[in-house]
Amino acid sequence: MIRKILTRLLHLAVVLLGILFLSFLLIHMAPGNFLSQMAMNPQVSPEIIRRLNVLYGLDKPFYVQFLDWIGALFRGNLGYSFSYHVPVVQLLLSRIPLTLLLTASAVCLSWGVALPFAVYGASRPNGWLDRTLTGFSYLSISIPSFFLALLGVLLAGATGWFPIGGAHNVGGAESGGVAGWLDLLRHLTLPALTLALGSFGVLYRLMRSSVMEAESKPFFAAARARGLSPSILRYRYLFRNAVNPLITLFGMELGGLLSGAAFVEMVYGWPGMGRLMLHAVLTEDLYLVMGGILAGSAMLLLGNMLADGALYLLDPRIREEGSK
Amino acid sequence: MKTKKTGVVFRRSRIPLTILLVFFVSGLFAEFLAPYRYDSVRFDLSYMPPVWPSVHRGRLEVPVMTLADPVLHHFRRVPGKWVPVRFFCRGERYRWMGLFSARHHLFCVGRPGRISLLGLDLLGRDLFSRLLYGVRFSFLLSFSAVSISFFVGVLAGLLAGTSGGWVDQLVMRVGEIFMAIPSLYLLMGIRAVFPPGLSTMEVTLIVTGALAFVGWAGLARVVRGVARSLREEEFVLAARSVGVSWWGIWIRHILPNMSYYLLVALTLSIPAFIVGEAGLSFLGLGVSEPHPSLGNILAESQSLPAMKAAPWLLLSGLVIVSIVIVFNLLGDQMRNSDDAGKRP
């Protein structure tokens, strides 16, 4: 067991190092550095630029710069944002919670709706509900999140039911208390719904086939032979067995979900990581871009670890295997 | 055996295949099918709604429209003024695929009329024409990206799956790194490396490269799985026992055995590339104006006022959705018609 965990941690470390290397390489490949702008200023002499180069270690070889950068990273220093004029870490910390909130609510919504419906649909395959939902899943898989979000904006504009832009009304954040939370919820509804609709299809199709596969297993026949009621059979026996592949899939799914969330944020103006990234790319704020990549990967890796943990808790077979 | 399988797929997926063919043809002959060039602007006709031809005075004619309210983009018909629709007529000059110079279009109308099957955009450019060119641009870009990504993915997957050991570890770990970064974040990061103000051609190449760079890992993983299971098959052992080299086994025995599976994987991975291109262009990081792609046409309707004034611009989104659905249907159909897809 300990061996297994250690191997996994080692893999994680390798992947982390790889991500760091890749993002550092991207920054290194970009034309110019943060002194280029200063170098174009006629009032700054080349001598000063040269000294600054030495001061910031820009004259050192690539791997030394990389190691220095990792050292700074562990001290919580991700550099300085040129366009916002604040440390990158500070910006990331203010945006990550909002993206996590959006993604988590979308996950809760889509899992909460898709899984029960899929169990039901699998019990009456090709019934009217199953057919409708299967068709709907196809649509859900095929609509890009940015298009769905545009349609959402259109809906909000036509009906006026939902506010568009930001996470609060002007002054809403300060009002605090219940009113502040309700305001946040109102702003969150449409983006979360959009994201959830987009991931409903994959979940429904996978859960449906997973449930149908579990139905053909001997344990299910045995449970049915004992005369358990259909609802207990369905939601206690089938559900628990069928949900495992989905949890495994969650890790892969999360990457797509985070990308989708970025699109949704940009269209709705939800002030999360995706919007920050786009702004950073458009203003060539390289350290912010790199910070964004790292934050996105961190969220993804965290989600994967959570999925592993959930699998361990939910599936006694994996626990057994582990303790051996 | 193989021809039978292909036949079944063709018969069962007639509808998606037909739709796909329509898209291909419209992309290929965009210059001929489009009544106008993608960049022919008419500022006086900004956001003109679709005007369909109808039978008038015994022939197909289009009513001439005039701007009634330039603020609200209201148009009205000029009473009694119609222009006939002509087929195989001479219109704006073009070079088909940059090769042959020609002036013939499938249909056009004479001045002062303007035929707009799907409406015009803010600059008065014909949406129908732009969509045709956009389909071409998006297909070209995403298919090149898929090809590169597929080549690298299959090569890496085969290498990892057949050799095992540290090569396998290396390829898989590198693949994991790519899959541990949310794809849009990585795409935006790559895009940020390149300075702004590049030409459309350069941006197109960058986006193609970036999409391929991001997409290969998933394919490599899948190919590796199939290659590993095929490696254990008896025919590989047989080939080895008669002294076929490893290289020969890969190329002559393993690759042909997974070709159908690869085709399915290819078909099912195309939508991600189409959407990837469209997404980047939608954000203004991909194909740039005046060149149309499905994504940057959709980007024109990003604001609520634009959506209200010209809802037809959202049609490019529907085109993206239908292309994606068609590829998904085709891939599913191919997978279901053969157990090759279920082998790994």
Concatenate the DSSP letters of all residues of A155-195 into one string.
Answer: HHHHH--S--SSSS-TTHHHH-HHHHHHHHHHHHHHHHHHH
A234 vs A119: CA distance, rounded Å = 7
Residues of B whose CB is below 8 A from A15: 173, 176-177, 180
The pLDDT assigned to B338 comes to 60
Which of A10, A15, A145, A286 would best serve as a mutation to test chain B binding (most B beta carbons within 10 A)?
A: A15
Q: What is the pTM of this model?
A: 0.87
Closest by alpha carbon to A292, among B284, B176, B186? B186
Model pLDDT for residues A177-214, shown as the tens digit of each residue? 777 788 888 888 899 999 999 899 989 988 988 888 88
Report the pLDDT value the prediction gives residue B52, as an integer from 0 to 100.
85
Q: CA of A145: which chain B residue's CA is closest?
A: B279
For B307, the token pair is 């959506």
Q: Which of B183, B307, B325 lies closest to A259 in CB terms? A: B183
Of A310, A151, A277, residue with least CA distance to B182: A277
Please list every residue in chain A whose beta carbon sits closer than 8 Å to the beta carbon of residue B181: 19, 22, 255, 293, 296-297, 300
pLDDT at B322: 93
User: Does domain B131-342 bear CATH number 1.10.3720.10?
Assistant: yes
Which residues numbered 278-297 in A keep a CB inside 8 Å of some CB on B? 278, 280-282, 284, 286, 289-290, 292-293, 296-297
Answer whether B190 sits within 8 Å of A139, measured CB to CB: no
Q: Which residue in B has a C-alpha nearest to residue A276's C-alpha?
A: B185
Task: Give the nearest partner residue to B321 out of A14, A18, A143, using CB atoms.
Answer: A143
pLDDT for the residue numbered A35: 65
**Do the beta carbons of residue B327 and residue B257 sit within 8 Å?**
no
Low-confidence ranges of chain B (pLDDT < 50): 1, 340-344
User: What are the strands of the beta sheet with B54-56, ordered from one edge?
Assistant: B54-56, B59-69, B74-96, B100-109
Q: A193: distance to nearest CA of chain B, Å?
A: 19
> How distant is the Cα of B30 from the closest Cα of chain A, in angstroms?
24
pLDDT of residue B42: 83
What's the pLDDT band for A102 if we cut at 50, 70, 90? very high
pLDDT of A278 above 80: yes
Answer whether residue A44 shows pLDDT above 80: no
ipTM value for the complex: 0.87
Of B188, B307, B324, the CB nearest to A281: B188
Q: pLDDT tens-digit profile of A151-170? A: 998 888 888 787 777 777 66
Residue-level pLDDT at B265: 86
Which CATH class for the A101-275 domain? mainly alpha
List of residues 6+ apart from A11 with CB closer than 8 A: B173, B176
CB-based contact B283 A30, cutoff 8 Å: no
The pLDDT mean for chain A works out to 83
What does the pLDDT average to over A110-123? 88
A37 — pLDDT class (breaks 50, 70, 90):
low
**Residue B250 DSSP class:** I
User: Which residue in A34, A145, A146 has the most chain B C-beta atoms within 10 A of its own C-beta, making it the best mutation to test that interface?
Assistant: A146
> What residues 123-162 of chain A have any CB closer than 8 A to a CB of chain B?
138-139, 141-144, 146-147, 150-151, 153-154, 157
Asked if residue B249 lies in contact with residue B240, where contact means CB atoms within 8 angstroms, the answer is yes
In chain A, the percentage of residues whose pLDDT exceeds 70 is 91
CA distance, residue B283 to nearest chain A CA (Å): 8
Q: Note which residues in 171-230 of chain A have CB less than 8 A from chain B.
A: none
Flag if A18 and B302 touch (Cβ within 8 Å): no
**Per-residue confidence (pLDDT) for residue A322, from 0 to 100:** 56
Q: Show residues of chain A in contact with B190, CB under 8 Å.
A: 26
Q: Which residue has the tokens 């959202």?
A: B314
The confidence band for A313, taking pLDDT boundaries of 50, 70 and 90, is confident
Which of the residues A14, A151, A254, A293 would you substitute to probe the B interface, choosing the one with the greatest number of B C-beta atoms within 10 Å? A293
CB pairs under 8 A between A and B: 141
Rounded CA-CA distance A300/A310 in Å is 15
**Best of B193, B213, B221, B325 to mutate (most A CBs within 10 Å, chain A):** B193
Check residue B277 and give its pLDDT.
92
Non-local CB neighbours of A175 within 8 Å, separated by 6+ positions: A183
Contacts of A146 in chain B (CB under 8 A): 278-279, 282, 298
Helix axes A286-314, A2-29, angle to 10 degrees: 160
Where do the domains of chain B lie?
51-115, 131-342
Question: Which residue in the set B181, B271, B298 is minimally distant from A296, CB to CB?
Answer: B181
List phi, psi (to 5°) of B200. -55, -40
Using an 8 Å CB-CB cutoff, list chain B residues near A208: none
A13 touches chain B (CB under 8 A): no
Q: Is the dihedral of CA A164, A166, A168, A170 positive or negative?
A: negative
State the pLDDT at residue A132. 92
Q: How close B186 gets to chain A, by Cα (Å)?
A: 7
A281, closest residue in chain B (CA to CA): B192
